[in-house]
Each structure stands twice: as structure tokens, then as C-alpha cells.
Amino acid sequence: MASFRVLCSLALLLLTIPASRAVLDSHYYDQTCPQAEAIISQTVRNASIYDPKVPARLLRMFFHDCFIRGCDASILLDTTPGNQAEKDGPPNVSVRSFYVIDDAKAKLEMACPQMVSCADVIAIAARDVVAMSGGPSWNVLKGRKDGTVSKASDTINLPAPSFNVSQLIQSFAKRGLGVKDLVALSGGHTLGFSHCSSFQKRLRNFSSMHDIDPTMNLQLADALRKICPKGNTNPSAGTFLDSTSSIFDNEYFRQLTQGKGVFGSDQVLFIDDRTKSIVEAFAKDQSLFFGEFAASMVKLGNVGVIEKGEVRLKCHSAN
Ligand code: HEM
Ligand SMILES: *[C@@H]1O[C@H](CO)[C@@H](O)[C@H](O)[C@H]1NC(C)=O
Ligand SMILES: *[C@@H]1O[C@H](CO)[C@@H](O)[C@H](O)[C@H]1NC(C)=O
Ligand SMILES: *[C@@H]1O[C@H](CO)[C@@H](O)[C@H](O)[C@H]1NC(C)=O
Ligand SMILES: *[C@@H]1O[C@H](CO)[C@@H](O)[C@H](O)[C@H]1NC(C)=O
């Protein structure tokens, strides 16, 4: 009976995660670098004390890394003569705080040279920033290898904040992620900040019928119009993604039920029948959200993993 269930879930896994057949392992570094996770956690924790923007940035970094070419640390590679790298591509306001990963990697190279991949460092750091911000924790599966290719033009494949639910579902499905994963992982927007350029189309001349996106709460629209005035020239203007932006909680989902999602791609999750009931369930039950978020982060961490390849010596450049 038990083995039948194992077989069934294995078959399901194989059917739904075509992106990768890599076998990651939570004990991967037990022999080769037992202190790896402690080194990364300390570095991330210390950096977050000095700069409270670090947790949100590292969580977003993991998402972007895994969605482009799989979780292979392609997001860390620098632009070289003749090749513009992912980190220098659109979407507009790119990921930052790369120095934290570099610091952790430098310490890892001292402790256990050439063992821990940059892709694993990002995955562990993403777990740590969530746990450290009051969210769930989970065992990170490890054993990813680092890729050698990074292209700015690939970032076109990231979902855009203007996407509708069909487009979001399709974007996640391409990576073997389902509707529940889409909603749970969108809960990552419980942390962090957005610049005006990512949502200002919702505030004025939205459509031929509506000046303001009709799904947006009017008080929020009013506040955001003040923060992002017509012809805004302040490139750092923007807003936090929920009212408790440094705490990992279910406030993001509660805000969606009030029309207070910042991006169109957030708010549509509460409008569309395919996702609305999941939003409502997470808004009501934080521990349900935490459990599903952790499970979906493990799935996200499996996307397009490279099993045979290099462990970069420096995360900025291929060996
Ligand atoms: C569902 C599709 C998604 C879209 C369309 C999207 C879009 C965006 C956009 C436009 C920003 C703001 C960039 C800026 O203006 O500075 C942002 C920020 C952020 N996103 Fe997403 N995102 C998505 C999914 C995710 C996922 C799955 C995660 C992680 C699990 C995530 C984590 C974050 C975080 C933490 C920030 C704040 C970053 C900061 O404060 O620097 N996002 N996202
Ligand atoms: C802690 O972080 C600060 C700021 O990034 C850095 O200057 C310092 O060296 C770090 N300390 C440790 C022990 O990592
Ligand atoms: C979602 O957007 C796509 C592309 O703009 C469009 O073709 C499609 O009709 C939209 N779907 C829904 C359900 O709004
Ligand atoms: C980035 O932002 C600028 C200014 O708001 C805008 O003109 C441009 O279209 C945006 N590019 C992308 C890829 O979103
Ligand atoms: C609003 O958008 C329409 C096209 O969608 C455009 O023709 C019109 O000039 C815009 N109005 C303003 C005030 O920007």
C-alpha cells in the first residue's frame, strides 16, 4: 500500500516536473561541507541587519534565477565583452544585493574549496530570509551545479506584472509549477518594495473604459497616484508590496481580498475563479499558506536543475 502510494506520487512527479530529472538531496554536503548552511545563514543574517532590503532582494533573486534557465545561478554572472548578462537585462528594476552571495561564497571557499555551488547558495539564502522574516522554514535540497550561460534577452521569459491569470498559469506551467504553486509563490510579495514603473499603468488612462484599474481599491489608487505623479522623474519612488513588508506573513493575501494588490498580476489572483478560492484560504489561514509556500519553494528549487557541471569558484564568472 505504502509502496503503491510512493509509486503513484513518483509517477505524478515525473509527469508534472518535466523541467528536471536531477536528484537533489538535503544531505548533499553532509560529508563535503557540513558547515555550509551555517556559513550562509550567518552571512545572510548579518547582511540583513546592516541592510533591511536584503531579505526581499534575495528571495526575488531565487525566483528570477530559477525562472531563467533553471536554478543554475545564471543570474549572478557578470556581463562580459560581447555578452550582456541576465542581471543587466529588463525587467526594469533589477535584482540587487549580489554582494551577500559573494560574501557567503568567499567564506565557503575558505572552509571547503570548490564544493558548494552558487545555485545552492541562492536556494539556501532564499530559505533563510523567509525564516528570518517570520515565515516558514524547510529542508533545502542541494546538489545543483552552476551554469555557464547568462543572457539579458532571456529575461523576456519572466512573467510581467501586467499578466492576467491565464498568462501567469502558462508561465508557471512551463516550469512544471501548478496553479497552487502560482498563488503560494506570489505570496513572496509579502516582502519588499516596487518602483512606480512596475504598476503605474494601473493608475491613469488604464483602459478605454476606466481611468484607474477597476480592480484596485480607490484609496490605494489615490495614495499611489501621489507617490507616482504624472511624469514622475524620481526613479526610486514606489511602494511596499504589503503593509507589513519586512514580515513574512499572510497580509499580502488579506490585502488582495480588499483590492490592495500592488501589481495587476497580484490582484487578478483574487478576481479569477481559478485562483480566488486559494487566495481566500491563504488569507484566512496563515499556517496553510506557510506550508504550501514551503512546498512550492522546494518545487521552484527543482526547476531546470543542472546535475553535471561546474561549481563556480566565484559566483560572478564561470570558471
Ligand atoms: C507571479 C509572477 C510575478 C510577477 C509578475 C512579479 C513581479 C514583480 C515586480 C514587477 C516586482 C517589483 C520590481 C521593482 O519595481 O522593483 C517584484 C518584486 C518582488 N518580487 Fe515578484 N513577481 C512575481 C513572482 C514572484 C515570486 C514567485 C517571488 C518569490 C517567491 C517574488 C518575490 C518578489 C520580492 C520579494 C519582491 C520585492 C523585491 C525588493 O524589495 O527588492 N515574486 N516582483
Ligand atoms: C556584516 O555585514 C557588514 C555589512 O555588509 C560587513 O561589513 C561585515 O563585514 C559583516 N560581518 C561579518 C562577520 O560577516
Ligand atoms: C490574457 O491575456 C492574453 C494576452 O493579452 C489574451 O490573449 C487573453 O485573452 C487574456 N485572457 C483572459 C482570460 O483575460
Ligand atoms: C522600464 O521603465 C521605463 C520607464 O518607466 C519604460 O519606459 C520601459 O518601457 C520599461 N521597460 C520594461 C521592459 O518594462
Ligand atoms: C489614453 O490612452 C489612449 C489610447 O489607449 C490615448 O489615445 C490617449 O491619448 C491617452 N490619454 C492620455 C491623457 O494619456
* Tens of each residue's pLDDT in the chain, 319 residues: 444 444 444 444 444 444 555 689 999 999 999 999 999 999 999 999 999 999 999 999 999 999 999 999 999 999 999 999 999 887 656 788 999 999 999 999 999 999 999 999 999 999 999 999 999 999 999 999 999 999 999 998 999 999 999 999 999 999 999 999 999 999 999 999 999 999 999 999 999 999 999 999 999 999 999 999 998 989 999 999 999 999 999 999 999 999 999 999 999 999 999 999 999 999 999 999 999 999 999 999 999 999 888 999 999 999 9
Among 108, 176, 181, CA closest to 142:
108
Backbone angles phi and psi of 146, in degrees to 5: -90, 140
Cα–Cα separations (whole angstroms), residue 166 to 161, 179, 194, 265: 13, 10, 23, 10
Contacting residues for 48 by C-beta, under 8 A, at least 6 apart: 54, 55, 129, 132
- 3-state DSSP assignment of residue 25: strand
Residue pair 110/313 in contact by the 8 Å Cβ criterion: no
CA atoms of 30 and 35, how far apart (whole Å): 8
Residue 195 catalytic?
no
How many whole angstroms from 69 Cα to the centroid of ligand 2? 31
CATH 2.40.50.140 fits 165-297, yes or no: no
Residue of 84, 86, 92, 195 to test ligand 4 pocket, by largest number of atoms within 8 Å of CB: 92
Catalytic residue among 27, 64, 195, 210: 64
Q: Start-end ranges of CATH 1.10.420.10 in the chain?
A: 165-297
Q: Give the ligand at the shortest distance from the Cα of 210.
A: 5
Q: For the whole model, what pTM was predicted?
A: 0.92
Contacting residues for 90 by C-beta, under 8 A, at least 6 apart: 152, 155, 156
Which cell goes with 97? 544585493
Other CB atoms within 10 A of residue 82 CB: 5
CA atoms of 261 and 196, how far apart (whole Å): 14
Other CB atoms within 10 A of residue 204 CB: 14
Q: Start-end ranges of CATH 1.10.520.10 in the chain?
A: 23-158
Report whether residue 16 contacts ligand 3, using a CB cutoff of 6 Å: no
Report whether residue 63 contacts ligand 1, using a CB cutoff of 6 Å: yes
Contacting residues for 283 by C-beta, under 8 A, at least 6 apart: 250, 253, 254, 256, 257
Residue 53 burial by CB count (10 A; 0-12/13-18/19+): exposed, middle or buried?
Answer: middle
65 is in an annotated binding site: yes
How many whole angstroms from 157 Cα to the centroid of ligand 4? 16
Q: Which CATH architecture has domain 23-158?
A: Orthogonal Bundle (1.10)
